[in-house]
Structure 1
Amino acid sequence: MTSIALGVALCLTGWITLYSLLCNTNGSRGSEWNCRLVTLLHGILAVCITAYIGWVDGPWPFTHPGTKNTPLQIIALVISLGYFIFDMGWCVYFRTEGPVMLAHHTMSILGILLTLSLGESGIESCAVLFASEITNPLLQARWFLRQMGRYDSLAGEAVDVLFVVLFVFMRIVVGGTMLCCELISPRPRFIIKCGGVAMYVLSWVFMVDIGRFAYRKSQSKYRRLRDQRRLAAVKEDDGKTD
């Protein structure tokens, strides 16, 4: 555990150093812009490593939950634990996130700590990390588009649609399947199964928020199209009158 603690400390230092460098070289963009760049980098890195673990290095998470952690799984979890500690501290300091996101970060930190301390169930944690981080680049792209004034465009629509589709498929469909495999397997410990249930419930909390967002956006788009048709009809009637 000493080597793992040292690895987490080094990764935390690395994420803080990267953020500091971005702030020094890209200070005109502001703290949140640079923090989201760090978040984007972590999301891409975490997805690449955990995808390799799941599909190449193994074992397959749906058939081998509760197995001993491999060296690559430990590396992936240590890197992400350092990031989540950094981002949790940043969010608390700048007060940018609500209770749901803070709960997600807290559960992620505790879940990874539990997996590393037990020395098992690393493959499930990596699978959860993959499912949760695969939508992260899209979430950051949406924020960057808004900041640059390009959100109300085809790119913004594509990012939103792809985010919702990926979230529903990975967090709800695949995540639900993974949870069932976790619960029926005799290998994972009870506390790990409880953590899996908690993460899945939190995914549904996010799903409710996403559903509300999608409904509001569709209603806004419908009203905008309706107003455009009315305006076009008025212009057409004025043209006939002239």
Structure 2
Amino acid sequence: MEDRIIKFVGFGAVLWATAFLLVRKIFPKRSFEFCNRLVSSIHATLAVTLASLSVEDWRCPVCPLASASSSLQMQTLSATVGYLIYDLVCCLLDKKVNLDNIVHHLVSIVGLGAGLAYEKCGSELVAAIWITEISSPFLHWRELLKELGYRDTALNFLADILFAVIFSLARMGCGPYLTFVTLSANNPVLIKAMAVGLQLVSAFWFCKIARMVRFKLAKRTSKKAV
């Protein structure tokens, strides 16, 4: 089983890298970051879809706790780990290296990788993927719009607000609850450490996003006043 998982993750990383090269070929005049964000948007949409489909009971989305992972949950985790490996390489190759983003990737890879190795905690880990990826399309779209020439427009502002609201509700609303139940259940130490690490990174990003929204609102207010 472990060999098959490693091959699946490796294949996923190669597949995401191939998708990036294809996007670069389709949009040769666009930046490295633009193409990577398109691929990241595709992954986020796929990850949220797979995570939603793998929930066993929507009355309790994180149940059963500390249980053996289902086949679909394992596939969801493998696809995301493959993507995270690809995206980590992109982060290192990009000119704008972001330390907190690298830490987020490493924590996620180790935590999800531990879930694959133990073949358990699928409910908690899939819920973590859903929470962390649900706001990602809006994060990427706001940056894509800027490169397409829509910086400081109403459309870009809408993407900013949607991202901030969805991120806050998911990461600071659902996130602490998921962290609590993950720590309370009989989960491996690595899984618990991942839960705490992701929540700390989420809190750090939440503070940055709150400052961004305040700046954007102040900027729009000053424009209207003029």
Q: 1:17 to 1:211 in 2, by over 3 A?
A: same
Shift of 1:95: 3.2
Tell me by how many angstroms 1:84 deviates: 0.6
Map of 1:107 onto structure 2: 107
Letter of the aligned partner of 1:204 in structure 2?
A
Deviation of the 1:183 alpha carbon: 2.4
- 8 Å Cα contact 2:111/2:190 also seen in 1: no
Q: Secondary structure at the match of 1:148?
A: helix
Match of 1:236 in 2: none
Return closer, same or farther for 1:104/1:59 CA change in 2, 3 Å cut-off: farther
**Aligned residue in 1 for 2:174:** 174
* Contact 2:62–2:127 under 8 Å retained in 1: no
CA distance in structure 2 between the aligned counterparts of 1:190 and 1:84, rounded to whole angstroms: 21
- The answer for the alignment partner of 1:92 in structure 2 is 92
CA RMSD of aligned residues (A): 1.7
Structure 1 portions without partners, runs of 5+: 229-242
> 1:131 Cα deviation (Å)?
0.8
- Could you tell me whether the CA contact under 8 Å between 2:41 and 2:140 is conserved in 1? yes
Find the counterpart in structure 1 of residue 122 from structure 2: 122
CA contact (8 A) 2:13 2:82 kept: yes
Kindly tell me: are residues 222 and 136 of structure 1, through their superposed partners in 2, closer, same or farther at Cα, counting changes over 3 Å? Answer: same
Q: How does 1:38-187 map to 2 (within 5 A)?
A: 38-54=39-55, 56=56, 60-185=60-185, 187=186
Measure how far apart 1:18 and its partner are: 1.2
Aligned pair in 2 of structure 1 residues 177, 24: CA closer, same or farther (>3 Å)?
A: same
2:24 corresponds to 1:20? no
1:202, distance to aligned residue in structure 2 (A): 0.9
User: For the residues of structure 1 that align with 2:178 and 2:94, how far apart are their CA atoms?
Assistant: 35
C-alpha distance after superposition, 1:192-211 (max 9, x if no partner) = 22221111111100001101
Secondary structure of the residue that 2:54 maps to in structure 1? Answer: helix
| Cα drift, residue 96 of structure 1 | 2.6
Bigger CA radius of gyration? 1
On the 8 A contact 1:59/1:123 being kept in 2, the answer is no
Give the TM-score, by structure 1 length: 0.87
Shift of 1:73: 0.7
Size of the aligned set, in residue pairs, is 225
SS in 1 for 2:29: helix
Shift of 1:61: 4.2
**Can you list the C-alpha shifts for 1:62-81, whole angstroms capped at 9, x where unaligned?**
34221111111110111111
Q: Percent sequence identity over matched residues? A: 25
Residue of structure 2 in register with 1:196 after alignment: 195
